[in-house]
Amino acid sequence: MSQHSVIIRPLEAGDEAAWRELWTGYLTFYETSVPEAVYASTFARLLGDDPQDFHGLLALVDGVPVGLVHYVFHRHCWRIENVCYLQDLYAAPEARGTGVGRALIEAVYAAADAEGAPNVYWMTQDFNTTARQLYDRIGTQTPFIKYQRS
């Protein structure tokens, strides 16, 4: 991939095919899949205007989508302001190491600042060493361990 500038923009209705391809790559990386109904519902929510809906951004290089991020604002018992959860972040293999991931995270930081959300947080799996190299430079690892219902 050439060293062209990365453009970050909101997801649009016409982006569905490119978004599906990128999100499928993300899900495949984490060795999971979702049914068609979840693809349809997630894309609709990403384009929705409900404050509880997720937001989606695409990273483009030379007009080609090469990355995505999904994030949502939500209330937090320890703060008056909402906080921002960055749920999904993905750069296509050919775009890794070119600044796409950093640009997407920084775009979420900017969206959080614009919304008055003082905190942006995310999780990753411990084996995601390549991404964690970026995360260690752009964020702070916390001591929390995730649990979920069995």
For residue 70, count CB atoms less than 10 angstroms from its CB and return exposed for 0-12, middle for 13-18, buried for 19 or more.
Answer: buried
Nearest by Cα to 90 from 137, 47, 125, 131: 131
CB 33 within 8 A of CB 40: no
Res 3: pLDDT: 58
pLDDT in tens, 87-145: 999 999 999 989 999 999 999 999 999 999 999 999 999 999 999 999 999 999 999 98
Q: What structural domains and CATH numbers belong to the chain?
A: 6-136 (3.40.630.30)
**Overall pTM surpassing 0.75 (yes/no):** yes
Res 6: pLDDT: 95
Res 1: pLDDT: 47
pLDDT in tens, 10-48: 999 999 999 999 999 999 999 999 999 999 999 999 999
- Confidence class for position 2, pLDDT limits 50, 70, 90: very low
CA 42 to chain CA centroid, Å, is: 13
